[in-house]
Structure 1
Amino acid sequence: MPAKSLLIFGVTAITLFAAPAVPAAPALATAQAAKLDDGSGAYRTRRYRNLLAERLGVSPQDTHRKIESAFQQLFHGDGQEQRIYFETGANADGPLAYVTDWANNDARSEGMSYGMMIAVQLGKKREFDALWNWSKTYMQTTDPANPSLGYFAWSMGTDGSARAVGAAPDGEEYYVMALYFAAKRWGNGKGIYNYQKEADAILRGMRHHPLVSATTPFRIHPQDPPFVEPDMPWPSPNNRNEQAQAAKEGKPWPPHRPNHAPRQVTVGPMVDETHAMVRFVPETSIPGSDPSYHLPAFYELWARWAPPEERAFWARAAAVSRDYFVKTAHAQTGLGPDRADFDGTPLPMWDGTPGAFSYDSWRTISNWSVDYSWWGKDARQTALSDRVQTFLAGQGIARFADRYTLDGKPMSTRHSTGMLAAAAVGGLAATPGQVPDAFLKALWDTPVPAGEQRYFDGMLYLMSMMHLGGEFRIIDRPPAP
C-alpha cells in the first residue's frame, strides 16, 4: 500500500543520457553462476516447511482448503464486500482483469503483480493471463516522450486511465518473478504470453533503462491526454474518511494541492548499480531505497535464470539485501523504515514524516524470512525475526498498531490483518517457541479480510498463509501429472 504521490507526470522536452549499466560478459556471468552457493534451504532440499502443521497440528488438507477458500473469496467472492479481482471484457490477447485497491479506488502494479504471483503459485492460469493482459494493455508506458518508457505505471484508474505516470520497483520485481514461474509451470506461449521473454525484458529494463530527462506533463500511451493530477483527490473510501477526519479536527482538506507548473524529471534505472540495490523510485531526484522492495529470495533465482549477462549483478544484490535488512532494523525493536538511504539511514516518508515503520515496512519481515526458508544463507535473519516478533508480542498480538516509530512508539490505533500476516511469516526464520506459535495461531484464527481494507490486508493474508502452509514455492518445472 505504498504512498508514492510525489511521482509527477507529463512532457514537452526530452534529453537522453547513456545508461550507467555495467553488464558482465555472458561467459563470465555463466562461470560466476556455476559457482553460486545453493544454501541449505528449500532450493537445495526441495522441502518446504508447513509451520501450520508442524506447530499447530493443522492437517495439510485443512491448510489447502483454507488457502483455496481465501483465493475464491478474494478473486471470485461478492463484488461489493469480498472481491478484489474483476474481469473486464477482452481484447485480441484474451480476457482482461484487474486487482483493485478498493479503499483507494485504483489498480496498482503492486497488486497486479501480487495477483499474478498468487495465481501462478495456485495454478490459476486464466486469472494470471487476464491480469498480465490488463497490465500490458493499460499500465506499461509506451509513449516515447515519457521518461518512464517501458516501465509500468504504479497507479491506474480501474477504467484504464492514469492515476500516475511514474513507476515503483516492487511491481516490476513481482512481475518478473511471476512470469519466470509461469514459464516454468505452463511453458511459453506467443506474443505477451511468451512469459520468459517478457520477464527477461523487464529485468533488463530495470538495470539498463537510459537516463532520460523530460518536462511534465506526461502520458502513458501516445493517444492519452497529458496526465495532470487533479486539485481534489479521486473519490474513494480512504479519501472520504480522511476528509471527514479533517473536518472533525478543523484542518484543511486536502492537505496539499498539486503544483501544476511544468518541471523537469529525470528517470533512470530502477537499481543503483554502485550499491547493487533496488531504488525507491527510478526518478533520480528522489534518493535511497525501500527495505521492503528487497527480495533476495527472488534475486538468487535471477542469478540462475536471468539472461547470462544479468546474473552476477543479482547474485551480488542478494548478499547486499541481506546486509541491508540488518542495517535498517532497529537494534531493540527490529522495526525497519519505509525508506532508507543506501547506507541504511532512515529517510523521511513521502509526506515528510520522519523515518518510520509503516505500510511498506510490514513486508520486510516476510522478505527476510522467505529468503531464510528458501536459501538458508544468513543466520542473522533468525535474530531479526526473534527481535521484531518479541517486540510486537509485547505490544499484544491482538492489538499492536500498524505503524510505529522505529524505537517502538505507536503512530496509529489500527490493528491490521496484513501486518499480522507478514509478521507471522517471520516464524519461518524465528527460533521455534511460544512467540512465533502465537503469531501462527492468531493468523489461523483470523478470517479472510473483507470490506474496504481488503486489498492490502487480503493479499498479504493469502500470500502469508501460502508461505506458512508450504504452498508458496520455487516453481522450476511443470507440476507432476
Structure 2
Amino acid sequence: MQKQLEGTFHTGNYTNLFAEYGFSETEIQNKLNDTWNQMFQGPEETRIYYEAGDSGGYLLDTGNLDVRTEGMSYGMMMAVQLDRKDVFDRIWYWAHTHMLLREGENAGYFAWSCHRDGTKNSNGPAPDGEEFFALALFFASHRWGDGHVPFNYSEQAKELLRICIHKGEDGIGKPMWNPDHKLIKFVPNCEFSDPSYHLPHFYTLFALWAYEEDRAFWTEAAEASRNYLQKACHPVTGLAAEYAYYDGTPNDERGYGHFFSDSYRVAANIGLDAYWFGGSEWHTDTVHRIQAFFTDKSPEDYRRYSLDGTPFEEKALHPVGLLATNAMGSLAAADSPHAKACVELFWQTPIRTGERRYYDNCLYLFSLLALSGHFKIWMPK
C-alpha cells in the first residue's frame, strides 16, 4: 500500500486512504459534506465562516475573536478543493479589501489580524497566510479561470510571491524568505523560522507558476525546506518546535521552543509533501516517530512537550487538531504500524465545538480532504 508515495503530481492518482482502510465511499463523502456544512453554514457551536455584506465573507478565529490571514487563506484552499467558487470569492474579496496593506514598509503583504468589521489589528503580516493565499489563488485560476481585479487569481498570486521574496531590495521593508538560506521567516523582520510554515510541496508548484525570473528561487526554497525539516524534527520523537533557528534548533527566547499548537501542522505538511511529490525514507520515518510517540496517549491528556518528549503540566489547547494532523501524516507512512490507528481515531472524533473550535476544525477539514483524496493539485487547463 505504498503507491501514494509515488506522488500524485506524477501519477494523477489521488489515493483515498480512508477507503483503503475499509471505510465506504458513501460514508466518506457524507463526512466530508457534513464537516463543510457544519463549519461554513452550521449552527453557532460549529460555524467559523460568516458572510459580510453583499460580497464578503470571513473565517473567525473563535478563540481570539479576530480574523486572521491564516484562517482566510485556509478557507480559500478548502473552498477551491471543494469547488465552492462563491465562498472562495467572498473570502478573497474580504481579504483583499480589508487585510491588504497598501502603504508603509509592509505594502503588498496582508495584515495578519483584523476585527470582524475589517479594522486592522496589526500592520504586519504572517507568512503562513501569504503562502496559502498564493497557492489557493493559483488553484482557483486553474480550476475556474481568471476574472477581473481582484479575481485575476494567477496575477494576484504571482505578484504576491514576487513581493514575498523581493521586498526590501529597494531598502523598504523585509522579505518573507531569507534570501541566503531560502527559508521562510516567522515574520519578515525576524531572522528565525517556524517549522510548521515550511511547505516544500507548495514551493515546488510555485517554481512552475511564479514569474519566470522567480522560479529558480522557489526550486531552491523547496529543497532548503525539506532539508530544514529534517533538522527541525527530533531524531527520536519526530517532534518539532513552534519556533526554530535556521539551523533547526529550537528558539525558546519567547517560550516557543517546544512542541505546541503551531507544531502540530508539521506532520500534516510532511504527509501532503509525500502525497503530492513522493515520499522519502525520511518522510516515512518521521511520521512513524510522531505517531509512535502519541500511540499511548489519549487526546484528553495531550500536553505541551519538549522535543525529547518530556511533558509539561500545560494541556494542549487543540487536541482535535493534533490528532487530525497525526492522521494526515499517514499519507507518508501508510504501512506504519500506527498509521491506521491514527486515521481511525481521527474518523471517530467529531469536529470540535465551542470557543476553541476554529484552529482544530481547520486542521480537521484539511486532514479529511487529504485522507479522502480530495486535497488535489489543480493544474492549468
- Cα pair 1:63 1:469 within 8 Å, conserved: yes
409-418 vs 324-333, which moves further: 409-418
| Distance (whole Å) between structure 2 residues aligned to residue 269 and residue 70 of structure 1 | 36
Q: Which residue of 2 aligns with 1:44?
A: 10
Q: Output one character per residue of 1:163-196: Cα deviation in whole Å (capped at 9) or x when no partner.
A: 1111110000000000000000000001100000
| Distance (whole Å) between structure 1 residues aligned to residue 352 and residue 170 of structure 2 | 41
Distance 1:466 1:386, change over 3 A: same
Extract unaligned runs of 5+ from structure 1.
Answer: 1-38, 214-265
Q: Which residue of 2 aligns with 1:172?
A: 130
| Distance (whole Å) between structure 2 residues aligned to residue 66 and residue 40 of structure 1 | 27
Distance 1:402 1:472, change over 3 A: farther
| Distance (whole Å) between structure 1 residues aligned to residue 279 and residue 224 of structure 2 | 13
Q: Which residue of 1 aligns with 2:274?
A: 372
| Distance (whole Å) between structure 2 residues aligned to residue 354 and residue 63 of structure 1 | 36
Q: Which residue of 2 aligns with 1:104?
A: 64
One of 234, 247, 252 as aligned partner of 1:348: 252
One of 120, 124, 127 as aligned partner of 2:84: 124
Q: Output one character per residue of 1:49-81: Cα deviation in whole Å (capped at 9) or x when no partner.
A: 1111112x1122321211111001100011x31
- Cα pair 1:397 1:439 within 8 Å, conserved: no
- Cα pair 1:52 1:469 within 8 Å, conserved: yes
1:191 matched to 2:149: yes
Root-mean-square deviation (CA, aligned residues, Å) is: 1.6
One of 152, 157, 176 as aligned partner of 1:270: 176
| Distance (whole Å) between structure 2 residues aligned to residue 477 and residue 162 of structure 1 | 35
Opposite residue 405 of structure 1, the aligned amino acid is S
Q: Secondary structure at the match of 2:150?
A: helix
- Cα pair 2:242 2:262 within 8 Å, conserved: yes
Mapping 1:362-401, distance limit 5 Å: 362-394=264-296, 396-401=297-302
Q: Which residue of 2 aligns with 1:280?
A: 186
Offset at residue 405 of structure 1 (A)? 1.2
Q: Which residue of 2 aligns with 1:316?
A: 220
Offset at residue 280 of structure 1 (A)? 1.0
Mapping 1:460-479, distance limit 5 Å: 460-477=363-380
| Distance (whole Å) between structure 2 residues aligned to residue 422 and residue 392 of structure 1 | 12
- TM-score normalized by the length of structure 2: 0.95
Offset at residue 475 of structure 1 (A)? 0.8
| Distance (whole Å) between structure 1 residues aligned to residue 355 and residue 270 of structure 2 | 29
| Distance (whole Å) between structure 2 residues aligned to residue 184 and residue 203 of structure 1 | 17
Paired-residue identity, %: 42
Q: Secondary structure at the match of 2:138?
A: helix
Offset at residue 402 of structure 1 (A)? 4.3
Mapping 1:120-269, distance limit 5 Å: 120-143=80-103, 146-210=104-168, 267-269=173-175
One of 262, 286, 297 as aligned partner of 2:201: 297
Opposite residue 229 of structure 2, the aligned amino acid is F
Offset at residue 397 of structure 1 (A)? 4.2
Offset at residue 450 of structure 1 (A)? 1.6
| Distance (whole Å) between structure 2 residues aligned to residue 156 and residue 186 of structure 1 | 28
- TM-score normalized by the length of structure 1: 0.76
Distance 1:77 1:400, change over 3 A: same
Offset at residue 287 of structure 1 (A)? 2.1
One of 260, 265, 273 as aligned partner of 1:358: 260
Q: How many residues align?
A: 375
Q: Output one character per residue of 1:298-342: Cα deviation in whole Å (capped at 9) or x when no partner.
A: 111111111111111111111111111110111221100111111
Q: Secondary structure at the match of 2:311?
A: coil
Opposite residue 159 of structure 1, the aligned amino acid is D
Q: Which residue of 1 aligns with 2:20?
A: 54
Distance 1:431 1:443, change over 3 A: closer
Offset at residue 430 of structure 1 (A)? 1.6
Offset at residue 378 of structure 1 (A)? 2.7
Q: Secondary structure at the match of 2:134?
A: helix
Offset at residue 207 of structure 1 (A)? 0.5
- Rg larger in 1 or in 2? 1
Larger proportion of helix: 2
